[in-house]
Structure 1
Amino acid sequence: MKITEVEAVEVTVPIEAPLRFAYGVHLAFTRTLVKMHTDEGYVGLGETAASKEQVERLSRPILGQNPFDLEVIRNIISNRFYWSREPLTASALEMAAIDVIGKATGQPAYRLLGGALRPHIEMAAYCFYRYPSEDGTRPGVTTPEEMAEHAADLVERRGFRTVKLKGGVLPAADEVATMEALRERLGPDIRLRLDPQSAWTVETAVELAPRLERVGLEYYEDPVAGMASMATVRERTRLAMSTNMCVTSFQELGPAKQIGAIDVVLTDPWYWGGPTQVHTLDTVARTIGIGVSMHSGIELGIGMAVMAHTGVAMPGLTAAVDAHYHHLLDDVIAGDMLLPEKGVLQPPEGPGWGVELDEAKVAKYAELHASGTYRNVYVEGNTVGPDPYRPHWFPIIPAW
């Protein structure tokens, strides 16, 4: 079997309301869908934040390769030169190749990754400060009381047992007050996480840690930037420290362990280079005494299926998985959206990732993307700034 073509389509899908984070605002979710065509008629699906141009340009050297040869494909993409790792493209191509393999063998992707150790992954409610929706049907979420009500609604509707707050948006003390309100509203049995996105100084993170200890966090995610600063905070709090910012490669894992920077590394199938790399990370991290969780890549349905299949095959993934997915108003996959029920998500059954595209929706959201109605803050420059509700504002990190 040979890869004959790699097709990429950029789509933008609406979300319930604008989501605020330390570096700007998500007005909608923009992703690049990847289709890997083969000479035997199989078409594998992937998804990434890399642009259409990046995917199509970087995939040209793998044309003619066998999609079963995952390490060969990775080597071609990631070792063109010593700086050419390209994880966002390599991951999407690996996802598509695994989907081809699953379709060719009639096997679900989780079996190709070693088998399902659990029937499902647990999911976390991913809470953001929000601006009101354009149509006025969903209010803004800014105060501690509003966030507590928003989180309680998600817990009630979807059965989440873990709630994560995306911080780095409001003054640090206000966000700690929000965590206190969440604990009071949700009770002692819901696990809580806080992610200030490295927007705090070491002094701020240390000063506020006692209040967060009283709240009780599952982990304290990236309050500060860099391994050294994370290690300093970790020395001065009882809270477990986690990251998806200061450790994003295997080369960084050892140094982080040596200086005591983290307790938990947050992986995902994109930034680490693909599902097989995430599986390897699970083994390596557990071997050196670091826990593993999984954070969100701002996924659509293909990505959500990848996370579910990958997650059930990871021995060390017992923590709930972060996902932006429940903020979407629609998706590009055929059939129902992959929303959690009772706080968990089962991998879609079927060969490969178990999902197919709804081509009408792909066309609809490709057109929306091309219209320029929404801007992707990750890949597009915008002189207005990354938050249209605050013209000409730009992030300064640390902010508090």
Structure 2
Amino acid sequence: MNITRIEAIPYSIPYVHPLHFASGSVTEADHVLVRVHTDEGIVGTADTPPRPYTYGETQKSIVAVIEDIFSPQLSGLDAFARERMQTVMDRTFHNQTAKGAVDIAVWDAIGQLLGQPVSTLLGGYTDHMSVSHMLGFKPAEQLLEIALEFRETYGITTFKLKTGRHPVSLDVEAARVLREGLGPEARIYMDANRGWSANEASEVLRLTADLGMEFLEEPDDAREVMGRRRLVSTSPIPIAADESAPNLGTAAKELLSGGANLLAIKTARSGFTEATKIVGLAEGLGVDVYVGNQIDTQVGTIASVTFGAAFSHTSKRAGELSNFLDMADDLLAEPLRIVDGKIHVRDVPGVGTVIDEDKLAYYRAR
């Protein structure tokens, strides 16, 4: 099965509940739907979330690099030659989410051809992922109300608290209110999106030491090398690398240099092929991982579920899989369901990203 062309379709869907955090905010899903066409008539599908404040990619740049560079370079290649595709795309620097989407779409096409769920092809460890929900910048009592609603409605008991504000007392208060309101059984962790310095992060860790936080993600800019190493070595909870470790090389660098001792896996930026290598690296080093969220649509979320459920190592922790609920609509023909705090893998060939074509026509940007 050979690739004939790769299509990049920009679209935009508004958020009913925008998400605000230290490095930016999201009010619309200005994403790109990627389709890999093949000579078998099979089309693989994936979603690409531009994050200019994190990776430097925009909706226009993703469309351009896919249609002008990756599509001509990969057309004619066997869809099973994934390592060769990785080598070809790696000649183009950066463009992480564009590369990730192409890889996921290729895997989707392969699964359809073989008549197997991609999660089974990747590893087939389990049939579901537990769900963690991200809470953005809001007053502490509002955050608790949202968390209680999600627990009651969807059975979610794990929450990521977006932090990195100034003064840090705002985030300390939010963490304390959540812990007191949700009780000791809830799993809560923080993500500062590089919003603090290492010293500020140390102060937050001191002030929240009695709250049982699971871990702290990207407390400061990883380029603050000495401060970050000191923070990791003295922290009572794991320090996670997310945007500082978007690929295999940077993940290895952060772990081996002492810049982190926990890793976020985001299929939107690494695809399935590179993400598998990152999971292997972490497991070999005895480092835990968790499935993160690029503020994904349902199309992106089902890809994360597909990958996370495939491996024992990725399914140990709840994945960040519910923020599509804050969107006004979605492109997935059969909406995802969160029941008892879980999303199940779709038992269909491929990834399960069947698109509602009417909705795509309505929301597409061109």
TM-score (norm 1): 0.83
Give me the whole-angstrom Cα distance separating, in 2, the residues matched to 1:316 and 1:296: 17
- Give the structure 1 partner of residue 179 of structure 2: 183
Q: For residue 313 of structure 2, give the secondary structure of its aligned residue in structure 1.
A: coil
User: After the TM superposition, which residues 166-205 of structure 1 pair with which residues of structure 2 at under 5 Å, given as runs?
Assistant: 166-205=162-201
- Give the structure 1 partner of residue 332 of structure 2: 333
- Give the structure 1 partner of residue 249 of structure 2: 251
User: Does the aligned pair in 2 maintain the 1:77–1:86 contact within 8 Å?
Assistant: no
CA distance 1:69–1:259, shift in 2 (3 Å): closer
User: After the TM superposition, which residues 54-93 of structure 1 pair with which residues of structure 2 at under 5 Å, given as runs?
Assistant: 54-59=65-70, 60-79=72-91, 84-93=93-102
Q: For residue 40 of structure 2, give the secondary structure of its aligned residue in structure 1.
A: coil
User: After the TM superposition, which residues 149-228 of structure 1 pair with which residues of structure 2 at under 5 Å, given as runs?
Assistant: 149-226=145-222, 227-228=225-226
- Give the structure 2 partner of residue 41 of structure 1: 41
Give me the whole-angstrom Cα distance separating, in 2, the residues matched to 1:308 and 1:149: 26
- Give the structure 1 partner of residue 348 of structure 2: 350
Q: Higher helix proportion, which one? A: 2
User: Does the aligned pair in 1 maintain the 2:29–2:49 contact within 8 Å?
Assistant: no
CA displacement 1:222-258 (0-9 Å, x = unmatched): 1111153322122333122112033233223344334
- Give the structure 2 partner of residue 380 of structure 1: none
1:315 to 312, 316, 320: 312
User: Does the aligned pair in 1 maintain the 2:165–2:196 contact within 8 Å?
Assistant: no
CA displacement 1:303-351 (0-9 Å, x = unmatched): 111111111112212111113322222110112x213211111112211
2:301 to 301, 304, 307: 304
TM-score (norm 2): 0.91
CA displacement 1:249-300 (0-9 Å, x = unmatched): 32233443344332211011132x2112112211111111211111112222
User: After the TM superposition, which residues 220-299 of structure 1 pair with which residues of structure 2 at under 5 Å, given as runs?
Assistant: 220-226=216-222, 227-271=225-269, 273-299=270-296
Q: Which range is displaced more, 19-28 or 344-353?
A: 19-28
Deviation of the 1:104 alpha carbon? 1.0
Give me the whole-angstrom Cα distance separating, in 2, the residues matched to 1:45 and 1:303: 10
Q: For residue 319 of structure 2, give the secondary structure of its aligned residue in structure 1.
A: coil
Task: Report the identity percentage.
Answer: 25
Gaps of 5+ in 2: 51-61
Q: Which range is displaced more, 229-238 or 184-193?
A: 229-238
User: How many residues are paired up?
Assistant: 350
CA distance 1:211–1:167, shift in 2 (3 Å): same
User: Does the aligned pair in 1 maintain the 2:133–2:156 contact within 8 Å?
Assistant: yes
Q: For residue 7 of structure 1, give the secondary structure of its aligned residue in structure 2.
A: strand
2:103 to 94, 100, 103: 94
Give me the whole-angstrom Cα distance separating, in 2, the residues matched to 1:228 and 1:46: 38
- Give the structure 2 partner of residue 113 of structure 1: 122
- Give the structure 2 partner of residue 374 of structure 1: none
2:189 counterpart letter in structure 1: R
User: Does the aligned pair in 2 maintain the 1:44–1:100 contact within 8 Å?
Assistant: yes
Deviation of the 1:174 alpha carbon? 0.7
Deviation of the 1:169 alpha carbon? 4.1
Deviation of the 1:79 alpha carbon? 2.5
- Give the structure 1 partner of residue 19 of structure 2: 19
Give me the whole-angstrom Cα distance separating, in 2, the residues matched to 1:24 and 1:101: 36
Q: Which range is displaced more, 104-113 or 296-305?
A: 296-305
Give me the whole-angstrom Cα distance separating, in 2, the residues matched to 1:266 and 1:173: 26
CA distance 1:145–1:351, shift in 2 (3 Å): same
Give me the whole-angstrom Cα distance separating, in 2, the residues matched to 1:294 and 1:164: 12
1:122 and 2:130 matched: yes
Q: For residue 245 of structure 1, give the secondary structure of its aligned residue in structure 2.
A: coil
Q: For residue 182 of structure 1, give the secondary structure of its aligned residue in structure 2.
A: helix
Give me the whole-angstrom Cα distance separating, in 2, the residues matched to 1:66 and 1:250: 24
- RMSD over aligned Cα atoms: 1.7
1:52 and 2:63 matched: yes
Deviation of the 1:45 alpha carbon? 0.5
Deviation of the 1:85 alpha carbon? 4.8
